[in-house]
Amino acid sequence: MDIKGNFWIEKEGKSFLGRGRIELLKKIDKYGSISKAAKEMKMSYKAAWDAVDIINNLAKERVVEKISGGKGGGGTRLTEYGKKLIDMFESAQKIFESDLKALEEFFNKKI
């Protein structure tokens, strides 16, 4: 018997963080660009921008911020708070997966 579940976080009744958004934040951190992150994830720039906007609006601090142009042009970067959110989400995800495994073992012994 397998116990399955998906983990995400809602805030104010809205989807805040889930696997997809965490991956997007990681790609933004890697590339310094929402556009490149979106392309890597095979999603539209608008969908990526909307996700970042929702995250920034629901978070207590900025998660992604713009970098003004210069020689190489502008871009975006993940804030320290954004990096902390990724770490917290991934830690919570591991706890969730461990709890699912424990439930699976419990039911496999009983059924």
Residue-wise pLDDT for 33-66, tens only, equals: 999 999 999 999 999 999 999 999 999 999 999 9
| CATH at 69 | 1.10.10.10
Report pTM.
0.89
How many domains would you assign to the chain? 1
Q: Is residue 5 domain-resident? A: no
Q: Is residue 99 domain-resident? A: yes
**Where in 5-47 does DSSP place strands (E)?**
9-11, 14-17
Q: Is residue 45 domain-resident? A: yes
Q: Is residue 91 domain-resident? A: yes
Q: What is the pLDDT of residue 110?
A: 85
Q: Is residue 20 domain-resident? A: yes
Q: Is residue 44 domain-resident? A: yes
Q: Is residue 110 domain-resident? A: no
Two structure tokens written together for 32: 């310094």
Q: Which long-range contacts (CB under 8 A, 24 or more apart) does 83-87 make?
A: 83/29, 85/17, 85/25, 85/59, 86/22, 86/25, 86/26, 86/29
What residues make up the domain containing 92? 12-104
99, pLDDT greater than 70:
yes
